[in-house]
């Protein structure tokens, strides 16, 4: 039994390859991350005379004038006219938010979707298949096309200021619980989160998604360490330790400091953090925050890849006829009524699937007809033998049928038949809208940002710039690899436009649970 489990896990992972090629693919996918680690580790080998000037003021003033002086930092640094400077900081912060984070994104969004009249989600070309009803005419709503990517900077600005309040550098704010919590997120979760995100993407999403995640992380981190070397800036602990006007310690011989993590070392009785930061090869690598960039990349992939549609195949006409619930004409008549109700009497002129089919057919002009494709659209009933037609199943499906909860399969290749006596159990319903990874992602990034400021390792400015690096990296990889190659190939396979020669229509989880009643759980289209 145990041997069979390991055999299935192995064969599903290799997927007609061998352990040697699987290992090579792993290193290729994460090669950029390895390059970043080596660059960071050996940064101190660069001769001091060839290094650029250290900027010890930029991050400090940028943080206060772009986000506001909520900690009264101007006064704490004994700067002249600190009251006026603090007032100016709130005025400039509001102007920054209004002009650059609200008005400019709205103008860009309007230009793309209303002036250029792009009739699909420009940044998430195939979001219909994972988050929206495929029959709906595309409407560039705020929720669908503005939040990502245009609304991300504004939401980051708001969350950073909210958690900043709870991270104030005052003795009465420091507690043992907060010290341990911040250490867990800043040190442990910082390392674990990308690994868990990679596993999630590999198990639950289209083949190639994890590779795009690895490339995106590598690109942003390499850009980050390059910025650290070309434009070195002082972290907040340096300013709080030596003062904003210090010049004596602004040099490359300055040793690193663990800041708030020294409190955690005292609680745990160790010197791991103190020794680790003491030997840091890049002491003035504050902007961008790699912690923030890495966390944001995890969050972006978790939020955008998590599907919102479930039980797509449980109520298809084929399934109902197979279960003997109703006659063919009854199904067709009900489907027509459902369409009319859903669209308030408006019949969509075209659908994403029909558009893809027309495009595909035009590309195939002069080639063989679609007979092979049509045959591939047939449902794989490999696991249908496990579906019983007892009264509980019939009752559940009839309830859906009567309560208008039917979703069309939209001609997707269906590798299995979903057993609703299992998939509709209460402990599965919490996963149906993809809320689990999304909720964990939001909690993770909020506490990660708070921890970083609480430990005095980064300003809000550093964290915000880290977010911009991750957003840029994701958008670059998304538009050049993830959407046009990974998602397009996978969707075409699932629509039957391509033969699944390499078993790429299934996710890793689907391959592991192939032929069981749990295969649906790992299908992004389920």
pLDDT in tens, 408-440: 445 777 788 887 888 888 888 777 777 889 999
Question: Is 17 part of a structural domain of the chain?
Answer: no
The phi, psi pair for 349, rounded to 5°, reads -75, -30
Q: Are 414 and 342 in contact (CB under 8 A)?
A: no
Distance, CA of 307 to chain centre:
12
Q: What is the pLDDT of residue 408?
A: 43
3-class secondary structure, 389: coil
Q: How far apart are CA 204 and CA 182, in angstroms?
A: 30
- In the chain, which residues have pLDDT < 70? 133-136, 309-410
My answer on whether 323 and 297 are in the same domain is: no
The phi, psi pair for 233, rounded to 5°, reads -135, 155
My answer on whether 194 and 331 are in the same domain is: no
Q: What is the pLDDT of residue 162?
A: 96
Q: Are 180 and 267 in contact (CB under 8 A)?
A: yes
Q: What is the pLDDT of residue 354?
A: 53
Q: Output the six-digit token pair for 107.
A: 């103008």
Residue in this structure with the two tokens 């206060």, named with its chain if needed: 64
Distance, CA of 2 to chain centre:
34
Q: How far apart are CA 101 and CA 97, in angstroms?
A: 5
Q: What is the pLDDT of residue 343?
A: 36
Q: Output the six-digit token pair for 51.
A: 């290094």
Q: What is the pLDDT of residue 240?
A: 93
My answer on whether 337 and 450 are in the same domain is: no
Question: Is 445 part of a structural domain of the chain?
Answer: yes
Number of domains observed in the structure of the chain: 2
Question: Is 53 part of a structural domain of the chain?
Answer: yes
Instruction: Give me the numbers of helices (H) and strands (E) for the chain, helices first please.
Output: 27, 0
Cβ–Cβ contacts within 10 Å for residue 457, how many?
Answer: 24
What Cα–Cα distance (Å) separates residue 200 from each residue in 78, 130, 301, 305? 49, 16, 10, 10
Question: Is 81 part of a structural domain of the chain?
Answer: yes
My answer on whether 105 and 183 are in the same domain is: yes
Q: Are 105 and 153 in contact (CB under 8 A)?
A: yes
My answer on whether 303 and 289 are in the same domain is: yes
Cβ–Cβ contacts within 10 Å for residue 372, how many?
Answer: 10
Q: Output the six-digit token pair for 268.
A: 């745990």
DSSP state of 158: H
Q: Output the six-digit token pair for 219.
A: 């690109």
Beta bridge partners of 233: 55, 285
My answer on whether 286 and 155 are in the same domain is: yes
Q: How far apart are CA 298 and CA 138, in angstroms?
A: 28
Q: How far apart are CA 113 and CA 384, in angstroms?
A: 44
Tell me which residue range forms the domain holding 102.
22-307+436-495
My answer on whether 254 and 293 are in the same domain is: yes
Question: Is 251 part of a structural domain of the chain?
Answer: yes
My answer on whether 205 and 259 are in the same domain is: yes
Q: How far apart are CA 296 and CA 478, in angstroms?
A: 15
Q: How far apart are CA 149 and CA 475, in angstroms?
A: 8
Among 57, 60, 44, residue whose Cα is nearest residue 282: 44
My answer on whether 280 and 372 are in the same domain is: no
Is the bond leading into 288 cis (omega within 30 degrees of zero)? yes
Radius of gyration of the chain (CA): 27
Q: What is the pLDDT of residue 331?
A: 40
Helix pair 290-305, 435-454: axis angle to 10 deg: 170
Question: Is 7 part of a structural domain of the chain?
Answer: no
My answer on whether 121 and 240 are in the same domain is: yes
Question: Is 506 part of a structural domain of the chain?
Answer: no
Q: What is the pLDDT of residue 5?
A: 81
Q: Output the six-digit token pair for 371.
A: 């007979």
My answer on whether 152 and 253 are in the same domain is: yes
Q: How far apart are CA 366 and CA 344, in angstroms?
A: 40
My answer on whether 440 and 426 are in the same domain is: no
What torsion, rounded to 10 degrees, do the Cα atoms 325, 330, 332, 334 define?
Answer: -90
Among 519, 502, 521, residue whose Cα is nearest residue 511: 519
Q: What is the pLDDT of residue 359?
A: 57
Question: Is 11 part of a structural domain of the chain?
Answer: no
């Amino acid at each position: 039994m145990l041997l069979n489990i390991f055999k299935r896990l192995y064969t599903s992972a290799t997927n007609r390859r061998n352990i040697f090629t699987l290992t090579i693919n792993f290193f290729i996918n994460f090669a950029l991350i390895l390059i970043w680690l080596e660059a960071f580790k050996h940064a101190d080998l660069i001769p001091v005379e060839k290094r650029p000037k250290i900027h010890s003021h930029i991050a400090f003033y940028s943080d206060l004038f772009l986000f506001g002086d909520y900690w009264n930092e101007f006064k704490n640094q004994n700067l002249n006219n600190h009251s006026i400077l603090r007032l100016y900081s709130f005025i400039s912060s509001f102007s920054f938010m209004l002009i650059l984070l609200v008005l400019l994104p709205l103008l860009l969004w309007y230009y793309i979707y209303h002036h250029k009249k792009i009739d699909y989600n420009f940044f998430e070309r195939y979001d219909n298949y994972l988050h929206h009803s495929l029959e709906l005419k595309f409407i560039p709503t705020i929720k669908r096309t503005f939040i990502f990517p245009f609304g991300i900077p504004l939401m980051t600005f708001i969350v950073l200021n909210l958690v900043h309040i709870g991270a104030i550098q005052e003795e009465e704010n420091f507690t043992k619980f907060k010290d341990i919590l911040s250490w867990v997120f800043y040190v442990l979760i910082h390392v674990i989160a990308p690994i868990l995100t990679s596993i999630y993407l590999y198990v639950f999403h289209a083949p190639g998604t994890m590779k795009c995640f690895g490339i995106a992380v590598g690109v942003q981190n390499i850009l980050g360490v390059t910025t650290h070397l070309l434009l070195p800036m002082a972290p907040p602990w340096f300013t709080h330790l030596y003062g904003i006007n210090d010049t004596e310690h602004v040099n490359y011989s300055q040793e690193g400091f663990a800041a708030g993590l020294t409190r955690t070392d005292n609680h745990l009785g160790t010197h791991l953090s103190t020794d680790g930061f003491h030997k840091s090869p890049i002491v003035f690598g504050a902007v961008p925050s790699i912690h923030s960039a890495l966390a944001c990349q995890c969050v972006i992939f978790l939020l955008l890849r998590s599907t919102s549609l479930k039980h797509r195949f449980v109520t298809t006409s084929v399934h109902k006829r197979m279960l003997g619930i109703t006659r063919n004409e009854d199904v067709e008549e009900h489907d027509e009524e459902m369409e009319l109700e859903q669209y308030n009497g408006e019949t969509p002129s075209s659908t994403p699937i029909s558009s893809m089919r027309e495009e595909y057919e035009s590309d195939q002009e002069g080639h063989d007809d679609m007979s092979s494709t049509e045959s591939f659209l047939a449902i794989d009933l490999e696991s249908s033998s496990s579906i019983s037609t007892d009264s509980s199943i019939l009752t559940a499906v009839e309830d859906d049928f009567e309560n208008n909860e039917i979703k069309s399969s939209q001609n997707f290749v269906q590798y299995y038949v979903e057993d609703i006596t299992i998939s509709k159990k209460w402990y599965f319903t919490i996963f149906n809208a993809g809320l689990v990874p999304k909720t964990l992602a939001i909690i993770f990034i909020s506490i990660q940002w708070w921890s970083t400021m609480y430990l005095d390792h980064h300003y809000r400015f550093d964290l915000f710039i880290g977010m911009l690096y991750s957003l840029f990296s994701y958008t670059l990889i998304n538009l050049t690899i993830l959407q046009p190659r990974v998602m397009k190939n996978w969707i075409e396979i699932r629509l039957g436009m391509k033969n699944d020669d390499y078993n790429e229509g299934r996710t890793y989880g689907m391959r592991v649970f192939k032929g069981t009643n749990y295969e649906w759980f790992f299908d992004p289209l389920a």
